[in-house]
Amino acid sequence: MRYSAAFLPTLRETPKEATTVSHALLLRAGYIRMVGAGLYEFLPLGVRVLQRIATIIREEMDRAGAQEVLMPAVLPSEYFKETGRWDKFGPTLFRLHDRKHGEYHLAPTHEEIITDMVRREIKSYRQLPINLYQIQMKYRDEPRPRAGLLRCREFLMKDAYSFDVSPEAARKSYDAMEAAYHRVFGRLGLQYRLVAADSGAMGGSGSAEFQVLAQSGEDAIAACTACDYAANVEVATAAEAAAASTPSGELPAPVRVHTPGAKTIEQLVAFFGDRVEGVGADRFLKSVVYLAGDEQVLAVVRGDHEVNEIKLARAVGADEVHWVAEPEHAGFLGPVGWKDKVVVDAAAAAVADGITGANEEDHHLQHVRHGRDFEGTVADIRLVAKGDPCPRCGGALELYRGIEAGHIFMLGTHYTDAMKAEFLDAEGTSRPIVMGCYGIGVSRLVAAVVEQLHDDDGLVWPSEVAPYAVIVTPLGGDEPTAVAEDLYAKLRERGLTVMLDDRDERPGVKLKDAELLGIPLSVRVGKRGLKDGNIEIKARRSGETSFVPLAGAVDAIADLVAKS
RNA sequence: CGGGGCGUAGCGCAGUCUGGUAGCGCGUUCGGUUCGGGACCGAAAGGUCGGAGGUUCGAAUCCUCUCGCCCCGACCA
C-alpha cells in the first residue's frame, strides 16, 4: 500500500472522548472512528487487524474440527421466545419490526438459532458430535458501552457451538475448544489467564473465561501465585483460614460499648485500638443488609472482608440480592438479636471474640461469637482478598484486572431440552443433545492486544496481527526515493505486506506516523545510510536498529519478518 | 436508571460568570524557503456556537425543554 493513497487519517491529538489507551491509540492511528456510543467504524488498517485476528481464530477452530457457518443477525422473535430469553434479555435486546409488523431482534448470541438448525438436521447419534462456529456481528444494547472497542453495542464475535451425545462426550468437545483457545491467545502473544467463572444468564453447568490481563479490564480476577488456580472474583474462594485470633480463657459475656460516631471499620479499629490489645479489622463482624426478593438478609463478614453478592445470592437461593443503602442504625448493625435472616461468612463465624454493631445508635457489642451470641447460616459469602490462601494449594492469591476476551460454557441440555433438540441413540431411545458454547470477542481482542502492547509513541502490533509487516520510509532525496520504490516492489514480490510512505512529508512526520501505526518493522532509506550502501531497519517493539547492505536488504528483511 | 462532566472549524481548546463584530494552536489549501525525529515565512479556505423554544433592541453567553458524548455507579453471556 502506498501511504499517499491510503485512507489513513491519523490524529496528533487524542479526541477527548477517549480515556482508555486502546481507544485513544486506535483513534489517533486511524484504525477506528466512532459513530455513536458503542458503535464503531473500522477504517482500512482496523479491518486488516480485525481480519488477521479472525484468521487466526478460524485456523484454530478449523484445526480443532469445528466448521464455519453463518447465521442471520436479524432474527424472528419466536426462537428466543421458545427458551424464554425474549423476556430474559430485557432492554439489552435490540428489537424491531418488519413491514408486516412481525417481531424481530438483532442477535446478541445464537444458541437458539443454531439449536434450531441442528434439531432440523440431526436425528441420529451417528451424526454427532458436531461443532459449528461463525464470525459475525453481535448486538447488545448495553446499559453502558465504554472504552472504545472494549464494550460495544455492536461487536464482532466468534461463537462456536458443540453438540454431543453425552455429558462425557461434551466434555471432550469442551476440552478441545479450551485447547484451541489457548492456541489462539498464545499466537496473539497475550498475557492471559484461564479463570473459573460464573455461568450467569447463559445457564449450564460450568464455564471458564479467558481473561487478558490489563489494568483497564472490567473484571477482577484472583489468581494463585504458586499454582495455576485462577477465578473471577465473582466465584473465587479462599482456603479456610485458621480460626483467627482466639484468645485464651473463657469468653466474657457481650459488653455494650459506647462508640460515638464510629461507623466504619477503620474508625472502629482506631476506637478499640486503645482498649483492646492487638485488635485489627479481622476482629470485627461487619454486617450489611441486603434484599433478596422481598426478604431482608443480614450478611456478616469479617471487618477486613467484603461481601460477594453473587455468593450471597447463591447462599440464600435467590437470583440476585440488592444492597440496602441506608438501613436503620447503619454503621451500628450487628447479628445479635437480628430478627430477619442472617448469613455468616465462614471466616466471620470463626472469629472467637468479635466486635459487632449493637443495632443501636453509637453502640457496639464486644465479646461476641457466632453460635453463642447469635445464629445464622454459615456460608462462603465473601470476596477473596489479596494474600488469601489459594483453595487448591494454599499459596497466596493475587488480584488482577482482566478483559474477558473468551468464554467457554458447558451448557448441558439447557437449550436442547427447551427446544426439543433430540437424537436417537444406538438403542433407539430419543435423548436430548448435549451442548457447549464458546465465544471470543474478536473486535474486543483488537483493543485487548493494544491494552497490553503499546508505548508512548503509539501502537505496537505483534507480527501475527500487524496490518502490514513492513513500512518502508524514504527520508527525502531522489536516490532514497528510488531505492525505497525498488525495495517496496521487491518486498511485495516476496509476498510480504508492505506500506510505502511515499508522502511528500518531512522525515520526522513519517517516522512519527510509522511508530504511531505500530508496524513491526520500519525500513528507513536515507542518504546517510546509502552513502555506505546501507539501509536501516528498526524493530518497533524492541527499538533495535540495524544497518544492512542494500544488496542483501530484501533477504534480510524477509528473514526478520519470518523470524518475528 | 442515579451521580458528575462536556457539546464552539477536521482535532485540541479559549470566549459563557458580567449579553454587544466568533477567536487561538494543530491540521487543510496556495506560494516560497527547508528536508534523518511532528520545520519556517507569507497568504487563504473552513463555524446552523448540538437542537428547539423563550427573554432581550441584541444571545455562544440568560431561562425552559430536548438530543448527544464521556466518566463513576447500578446493570450486563
**Nearest protein residue to nucleotide B72, judged by CA and C1' positions:** A144
Domains of chain A: 43-220+402-450 (3.30.930.10), 255-379 (3.90.960.10), 468-563 (3.40.50.800)
How far is A483 from A465, CA to CA, in rounded Å? 28
> Tell me, in Å, how far CA of A145 is from C1' of B18?
40
Task: Output Rg (C-alpha) for chain A, integer angstroms.
Answer: 29
> Tell me, in Å, how far CA of A407 is from C1' of B4?
34
In this structure, what DSSP letter does residue A90 have?
G
Q: Is the peptide bond before A247 cis (omega within 30 degrees of 0)?
A: no
| Other Cβ atoms closer than 10 A to A25 | 26
How far is A332 from A334, CA to CA, in rounded Å? 7
> Tell me, in Å, how far CA of A28 is from C1' of B47?
23
CA angle, residues A533, A538, A540, in degrees to nearest 5: 165
- What H or E segment, with its residue span, contains residue A74? strand A74-76
- What H or E segment, with its residue span, contains residue A410? strand A397-412
Nucleotide nearest to A157 (CA to C1'): B77
Q: Which of residues 233-262 of A touch strand B (CB under 7 A)?
A: none
Q: Which three cell numbers stand for residue A54?
A: 479472525
Q: Within 7 Å: CB of A138 and strand B? A: yes
Q: Which three cell numbers stand for residue A224?
A: 494463585
Give me the tens of pLDDT residue by residue for chain A, a chain 564 residues long: 999 999 999 998 888 888 899 999 999 999 999 888 899 999 999 999 999 999 999 999 999 999 999 999 999 999 999 998 998 888 899 999 888 889 999 999 999 999 999 999 999 999 999 999 999 999 999 888 888 999 999 999 999 999 999 999 999 999 999 999 999 999 999 989 888 776 554 445 578 889 898 877 777 888 888 887 878 777 777 877 555 445 556 778 778 888 887 777 777 787 887 777 777 778 888 888 887 777 778 888 888 888 888 788 777 777 777 777 667 777 788 888 777 888 888 887 888 888 888 878 888 888 888 888 888 888 888 888 788 888 888 888 888 888 999 999 999 999 999 999 999 999 999 999 999 999 999 999 999 999 999 999 999 999 999 999 999 999 988 999 999 999 999 999 999 999 999 999 999 999 999 999 999 999 999 999 999 999 999 999 999 999 999 999 999 999 999 988
Q: Which three cell numbers stand for residue A478?
A: 531522489
**What is the pLDDT at residue A172?**
94
Residue with cell 481482542: A445
Q: Within 7 Å: CB of A337 and strand B? A: no
How far is A141 from A139, CA to CA, in rounded Å? 7
In strand B, the nucleotides that come within 7 Å of a protein beta carbon are: 1, 6, 11-13, 25-27, 34-39, 68-77
**What is the pLDDT at residue A198?**
63
How far is A111 from A123, CA to CA, in rounded Å? 18
**What is the pLDDT at residue A224?**
82
| Cβ atoms of residues A342 and A334 within 8 Å | no
| Cβ atoms of residues A391 and A229 within 8 Å | yes
Q: What is the distance of C-alpha A493 from the center of its chain?
A: 40
Residue with cell 455468616: A344
How far is A126 from A212, CA to CA, in rounded Å? 38
Q: Which residues are A365's β-sheet partners?
A: A256, A356
Q: What is the distance of C-alpha A110 from the center of its chain?
A: 20
